Structure 1
Amino acid sequence: MEAGLGLGSIWNGGLMYIIPFLFVLTIIVFFHELGHYLVGRWCGIRSLAFSVGFGPEIVGFTDRQGTRWKLSAIPLGGYVKFLGDENAASVPDRSAVARMSEKEAREAFPTASVGRRAATVAAGPIANFILAIAIFAGVAYVQGRPVADPIVSEVVEGSPAEEAGFEAGDRVLATDGQPVTYFSDLQKYVTARPDQPIVVTVERDGKPIELTVTPRTEERDDGFGKTFNVPVVGIVARGTESSFRVEELGPVESLRYGVEQTWFVTERTVNFIGEVFTGRQNADQIGGPIRIAQVSGEVSTLGLGALLNLAALLSVSIGLLNLMPVPMLDGGHLLFYAFEAVRGRPLSEQVQEVGFKIGLALVMMLMVFAFWNDISGLV
């Protein structure tokens, strides 16, 4: 009886992570592949299959155009297979193309112009960014935007802010000449400038004062057993002094907010990748499905809005990952098409085959590394 209760608890705990994880991943994968599918159709390319997940089909149907829409057993991605593709990675099937009729050849992916192929491939990552904008904007429109005035409630002892001369009660007006409206504006500006001097204009006793502060990079706990490096200056905003509130946004303001948030996440993700390669950030922050499931489960306890915002963050990350110039990924295909456009003809089959093998090895290495980080975080 006790064993049964224990297994039940484990099962229920697992569902707490699995269901939000599948919800988030399905949204992201579906819209990524929908981008490929819609632009491919617009370019006159016939699709054979649209799958959310890999492996054996669980359920599906075939539409009037002959596309098999299906949900597959392994929920770790998805694909659109176009006519003339050898596999889900859009590796061209040369022998199949050679046997096609004239009509089929006009609708096949490998025989489409380089511009149409590039547009179809780029549409997936672009759809991820559009999805992120839509989610950020939609959540902000429904729930409003939490904001706080840029007023310093407390200066941390021994911090760069104390050394620069900040005082409680200072109101931040600008950073390097750029106006600051909310406390989050200051946070975003500091986060993007580790160890770089920043000229901060504050209002004190009704007069503007310029202070120069250099953010210090400190190690913080992410709440999931990992640490990350973040630039800080050491000032605190509290509810009473900084007037924490939720602002309602109209449709246009919400859309602008969605674009701004997506751009900020994109910029910070690119900077993070660069910092990993330069040693400023820990590579063990890179996570795989287990960690995504863990984070999804924790965030889901905060409500649907928080879970959707997580989906937007991950959508940006997946969009950027797919744009990396690695064969097997969308960015690798775009790199091949760029060479084709410059040369006036595709790269040889041998070169492309070697490229795809290298790309597959790199993708597999990244997956193994991410899984290792996931597992080590659980130990």
Structure 2
Amino acid sequence: MDIAATVWNSGSFLLSYLVPFLFVLTIVVFVHELGHFLVGRWCGVDVKVFSIGFGREIFGFVDKHGTRWRFALIPLGGYVKFSGDADPSSSAADSAEVERMTEEQRARSFPAQSIAERVAIVAAGPIANFVLAILIFAGTVYAFGRPVLAPRVEQVIAGKAAERAGLLAGDVVLTIDGKQIRSFSDMQRLVSTHPNETLSVTVDRAGTMVTLPVTPDLNETSTALGKQRIGVIGVQASRRTEDWTTQHYSLGEAVKVGFSETWFVVDRTYDYLSKLISGRESTDQLSGPIRIAQVSGMVASNGGLLALINLAAILSVSIGLMNLLPVPMLDGGHLMFYAIEALRGRPLSERAQEIGFRVGFGLVLMLMLFVTWNDIVHVHSRL
């Protein structure tokens, strides 16, 4: 019975966590690498390998242009290898390979391209991630609309910021610091991102406009991704059926929503990082594959395919931002080397690039070890 239970639990884990995680990650990685691939092809560069995953190849094929498309054993990333690259993760050219090329082949190699073309090829990966997020956010609201709860205060909790500021049950929030509030979630977003900051809140109180200074309290809550420190004012949302509506969008409006939602993720990520550097946030929200798999499983179980696709949009933005960090081995590190090359009029020496790559590899490895340990501690604490 114990063996049967173990097998059943293992299968349940694969279906509940691993499969949703791989579904989300594969979409994000494929689109990122597709950005590099398409712009590289557009610039006339030969692509040798397009890989989803690392390590031993599980299966693959060669297309009519000579590119090897492969799916590898370790599905935690991917890469595109261009002709003349020493390594997909480095900015250095493979001098020996370039030397063996004919003039025609050399012209189609990655190192032979102008700085502008190389920048475009490298930047295309993160840009593709942002485009994916915009398309997902825009596509979901265009196809299904968005449920909207009116920003009506159902109840004011005693002793909290809303009561201290003078908010009353029945108030409908119109603006916060001059920004129009169309839904209860709009209010939550603004309040949650401004703890301990005084906000000017204008409400409709039985037909009379009233403006109140409200200072959200800092509240710490535990989530699947760690402890979150957000602002709260202590109000409950309306329970009235008539306060729920479904807002539909034209194509143009949906695209605006896509940009807005993507920018919100970017803004919150940079806000968290700035607070982390200044010591106002802790590292417990830094997540690795284990916690992302856990969240993917929870989202798939509770929200279904649509919620999982929206999670892919959020993860896509995060991966796009991470890859823009100026760390050798990441796309941002390549862009940094190209900026130096443009300023110097010549690329850094192979030795300097190698040192940079090793430093970057060490930083990425330390980050991966840290977030994995963070994940283990977090998951264990919730058992």
In which range does the TM-score fall when normalised by the shorter chain? over 0.9
- Tell me the distance in 2 between the aligned counterparts of 1:156 and 1:332: 49
Residues 258-273 of structure 1 mapped to structure 2, 5 A cutoff? 258-273=258-273
Per-residue CA deviations over 1:72-122 (Å, capped at 9, x if unaligned) read 110000000000111221442223223322112111111211000000000
State whether structure 2 residue 54 is matched by structure 1 residue 54.
yes
Q: Secondary structure at the match of 2:240?
A: helix
- Tell me the distance in 2 between the aligned counterparts of 1:241 and 1:203: 20
Cα distance, 1:241 vs structure 2: 7.3
Contact 1:193 1:215 in 2 (8 A): yes
- Tell me the distance in 1 between the aligned counterparts of 2:209 and 2:127: 43
Q: 1:23 — aligned with what?
A: 23
Deviates more, 1:346-355 or 1:357-366: 346-355
Q: CA RMSD in A?
A: 1.5
- Tell me the distance in 2 between the aligned counterparts of 1:107 and 1:294: 43
Residues 303-318 of structure 1 mapped to structure 2, 5 A cutoff? 303-318=304-319
Q: Secondary structure at the match of 1:253?
A: helix
Cα distance, 1:333 vs structure 2: 0.6
Q: AA paired with 1:8?
A: W
Q: Secondary structure at the match of 1:122?
A: helix
**Could you tell me the TM-score, scaled by structure 2's length?**
0.95
- Tell me the distance in 1 between the aligned counterparts of 2:78 and 2:239: 44
- Tell me the distance in 1 between the aligned counterparts of 2:344 and 2:169: 63
Q: AA paired with 2:156?
A: V
State whether structure 2 residue 66 is matched by structure 1 residue 66.
yes
Contact 1:151 1:241 in 2 (8 A): no
**Could you tell me the TM-score, scaled by structure 1's length?**
0.96
Residues 1-379 of structure 1 mapped to structure 2, 5 A cutoff? 1-91=1-91, 92-223=93-224, 226-240=226-240, 243-301=243-301, 302-379=303-380
Cα distance, 1:174 vs structure 2: 1.1
Q: Secondary structure at the match of 1:27?
A: helix
Q: Secondary structure at the match of 1:66?
A: coil
Cα distance, 1:2 vs structure 2: 4.2
Q: AA paired with 2:129?
A: N
Q: Secondary structure at the match of 1:261?
A: helix
- Tell me the distance in 1 between the aligned counterparts of 2:379 and 2:42: 46
- Tell me the distance in 2 between the aligned counterparts of 1:112 and 1:191: 47
Q: AA paired with 1:101?
A: T
Per-residue CA deviations over 1:57-82 (Å, capped at 9, x if unaligned) read 11111011110011111000000000
Deviates more, 1:145-154 or 1:76-85: 145-154
- Tell me the distance in 1 between the aligned counterparts of 2:252 and 2:270: 27
- Tell me the distance in 2 between the aligned counterparts of 1:365 and 1:319: 20
Q: AA paired with 2:66?
A: G
Deviates more, 1:276-285 or 1:91-100: 91-100
Q: Secondary structure at the match of 2:120?
A: helix
Contact 2:90 2:357 in 1 (8 A): no
Q: AA paired with 1:339?
A: I
- Tell me the distance in 2 between the aligned counterparts of 1:325 and 1:141: 36
- Tell me the distance in 2 between the aligned counterparts of 1:178 and 1:153: 21
- Tell me the distance in 2 between the aligned counterparts of 1:195 and 1:98: 62
Cα distance, 1:213 vs structure 2: 1.2
Q: AA paired with 2:183?
A: Y
- Tell me the distance in 1 between the aligned counterparts of 2:279 and 2:207: 43
Structure 2 residue runs of 5 or longer lacking an equivalent are none
Contact 1:150 1:237 in 2 (8 A): yes
Structure 1 residue runs of 5 or longer lacking an equivalent are none
Q: AA paired with 1:13?
A: F
Q: Secondary structure at the match of 2:153?
A: coil
Contact 1:152 1:242 in 2 (8 A): no
Per-residue CA deviations over 1:203-243 (Å, capped at 9, x if unaligned) read 1131111111122221001046x321112222221231771
Per-residue CA deviations over 1:299-333 (Å, capped at 9, x if unaligned) read 00121111011100100000000001111000111
Per-residue CA deviations over 1:24-76 (Å, capped at 9, x if unaligned) read 00000000000000001111111100001011111111011110011111000
Q: Secondary structure at the match of 1:239?
A: coil
Contact 1:36 1:121 in 2 (8 A): yes
Contact 2:193 2:230 in 1 (8 A): no
Q: Secondary structure at the match of 1:303?
A: helix
Q: AA paired with 2:95?
A: R
Cα distance, 1:170 vs structure 2: 0.9
- Tell me the distance in 2 between the aligned counterparts of 1:343 and 1:194: 46
Using the aligned pairs only, state the percent identity: 51
Q: Secondary structure at the match of 1:150?
A: coil
- Tell me the distance in 1 between the aligned counterparts of 2:180 and 2:66: 55
- Tell me the distance in 2 between the aligned counterparts of 1:182 and 1:67: 49
Q: AA paired with 1:338?
A: A
Cα distance, 1:16 vs structure 2: 1.2
Contact 1:51 1:80 in 2 (8 A): yes
Q: Secondary structure at the match of 2:110?
A: coil
Cα distance, 1:143 vs structure 2: 2.3
